[in-house]
Chains A and B, each alone.
Chain A
Amino acid sequence: MLDIKNLSASVGGAEILHDLSLSVGTGEVHAIMGPNGSGKSTLAQVIAGRDDYDVTAGSVTLDGEDLLELDPEERAREGVFLGFQYPVEIPGVNNAYLLKAAVNAQRAHRGLDEIDVFEFLKLAKEKMALLGMDQKFLNRGVNEGFSGGEKKRNEILQMAMLEPRLAILDETDSGLDIDALKAVAHGVNALRSPERSIVLVTHYQRLLDYIQPDHVHVLSGGKIVRSGDKTLATELEERGYDWLKEAANG
């Protein structure tokens, strides 16, 4: 599904990602962990197409298609979804309006007609129920005045509506209470399928109790320094990252 080869990326002249390679197979769930500032969000944003970052070397492909050639919206329509670590508040832009516009832009890309209004509402309400979200959020501004946890649920709602091929969730579990964590995990698990791949960026083993990953990677200093199965997450929880940083440097 996703193939990242020898990727280097910098921002404002500083290289953040160094020669990073990562492969995510179709139907797999990968977790990326790593210390603060190691480049996890940078990687996620580069995949989604943020142009503040300069890709200086390497390639990123989705099912063989060069993602780096595409605009962010083209990537999104092709099925790449980024759940933001810090979802952006967009005052005055109606949440339901955005959801519908997003769904329709994606449908247009696939050569489908616009979604029927009633069908859209029915679908949105279904997904919201699944996430334990009150319907009143449909009529609010996008993330406007949402609590931290509400923003994260809203990201998952968008993901659920767009049904991406590849979902990258950047710390979607941070700042969630136990119920919200379960709801989010439920939303992610509902999306899990042999056709989709999911990348979870997280600091906590806890999320991985609910969403069992096939692979766990450690990103440190802009590189993947260790990959393993889900037991690696448990090990990290116990030992921290220092031993890996040393191993990587030495």
Chain B
Amino acid sequence: MSKPDKLQSAAEQLGPDGLSDLRSRAAKKFGATGFPTTRMEDWKYTDLSIASDISVAALQDFRTDLPPSYEIPDIDAHWLVISNGSPQVGSFSAIDGVEVSLLSEADVDLQFNLPLSDLNLALLSDGLRLTVDSGVNIDKPIGILFFDDADTESLVSQGRVIIDVSKSASVQVIEFHATRGDARKYANVFVDLNIGDNARVDYARLQARDPSAVQTARLSVAAGRDATLRHFALDTGGKLVRNDLAIDIAQTGANVDFNGLYLADAMQHVDNHTRVDHRVGPAHSNQEYRGIVKGRAVWNGKAVVHEGADGTDAQQANHNLLVAERAEINAKPELEIYAEDVKCSHGTTVGQLDENAVFYLRTRCLDEEQARRLMTHAFAMGVAHRCPIDACTAWVDAHVDAALNALITEDAE
């Protein structure tokens, strides 16, 4: 960012509290590095200059007193709200078996490792730490709502949540992103998920921001021994969206399954980067991402099987349906194997609807639009059905339906 002093003073404005020192150090670091640029391999196709612009504008007149504003999604869950970057502690009700605390009051070691993480810490008003007791089975999903509302002034918001799931616990987590208002918004979110030995997490990241919103979000997962993760991510909103999912398997027996669906309309850019590090074996990872693209999308799936991670089974698939001439996808699977006795595969496809099938459906009385819609929907649901949280199913179905209809209907014009 061009104005390190603005960042520094914004960081100061947020304190003084338990995070003051951290903010100041992070601001200094980010002031030196700035946003990632397209010259970096990892950011080749995703240009964050718009995120930078919004940040600069928001820092002109940085406000720490924005009133909370949010709408709880129609999904049955224990909701924890972070509105415009501020945890709404007053709205939290107790969840049996889960301890919720503010990062400013928790004793956690926050890492400085990535520029966006530095930005996040520099401007973090506060974050949440959730600790799930060992052996418990939480009765209904825990929903973390990242909600941004800006009508006139540009808004930059930071979200940070650390979730520690103790051994043998079982929990469902929904990470939900939504917005309100017409002003430009940039949200930068970091979630750390530490899954204890023999614990199980079902995770759904549902992103339905407005079409002018910008998001960068990173979920870092550390999987314990015999830990299980079932993950599904849905992106339908946002003008520019970049999601990173990093899964670290440093204990044997982990079983992680991560899937995603992204819809990119003509004016949207959706980038999903996934990375799984198999440091030991045996362990199993499986991912499938599907995209329906009219605008621009990026998928980069990397699996690294480190030396000694023998007996690793890592599967990855990415399938894309291009629904417009101008649609663009950069899909890249990357597999690095330094171990023995591994089972790895990857497959990437980019294509259009099967015209034979469209004709077949038309001979069965369906009009062309109906035929295309039905097939596109089936393609999407092929992966959306893997959403591991039943409480989200109805929302996901309805939302995917509506988003697809919008995407395809415009197409017919």
Q: Interface residues, chain A, CB within 8 Å of chain B?
A: 48-50, 71-73, 75-77, 81-82, 84, 87-93, 97-98, 101-103, 105-106, 109, 141, 158, 162
Contacts and interface: CB of A to CB of B under 8 A. Distances in A.
A73 B362 CA distance: 5
B366 A105 contact: yes
Q: Nearest 7 A-B pairs (CB), nearest first? A: A92-B378, A105-B365, A72-B362, A88-B360, A102-B364, A76-B365, A102-B365
Interface string B375-389: 100110110000000
Contacts of A93: 361, 374-375, 378
Nearest to B379: A92
Nearest to A141: B378
Contacts of B366: 73, 98, 101-102, 105
Given A88-B354, A91-B382, A92-B379, A48 B363 contact: yes
Given A88-B354, A90-B375, A101-B370, A49 B362 contact: yes
Given A72-B359, A92-B378, A162-B364, 8 more contacts: A73-B367, A84-B363, A88-B356, A91-B379, A93-B378, A98-B364, A105-B370, A162-B365
B340 interface: no
A54 to B, nearest CB: 15
Contacts of A91: 378-379, 382
Contacts, number: 75
Contacts of A82: 363
A91 B379 CA distance: 8
B362 A76 contact: yes
Nearest to B355: A52
A90 B374 CA distance: 10
A158 B364 contact: yes
B375 to A, nearest CB: 6
B368 to A, nearest CB: 7
8 contacts: A72-B359, A73-B362, A75-B363, A84-B360, A88-B354, A88-B360, A90-B361, A105-B367
Interface of B: 354, 356-357, 359-368, 370, 374-375, 378-379, 381-382
A188 B147 CA distance: 60
Nearest to B382: A92
Contacts of B379: 91-92
A238 to B, nearest CB: 35
A72 B374 CA distance: 17
Contacts of B367: 71, 73, 105
A177 B328 CA distance: 47
A76 B378 contact: no
Nearest to B367: A73
B358 to A, nearest CB: 9
Most A CB contacts (10 A, CB to CB) among B357, B364, B374, B381 go to B364
A69 B333 CA distance: 47
Nearest to B383: A92
A141 to B, nearest CB: 8
Contact of B381 (A48, A49, A92): A92
B286 to A, nearest CB: 19
A50 B365 contact: no
A92 B381 CA distance: 8
A48 B361 CA distance: 12
Contacts of A103: 365
A145 to B, nearest CB: 14
Contacts of B365: 73, 76-77, 101-103, 105-106, 109, 162
Contact of A49 (B354, B363, B378): B363
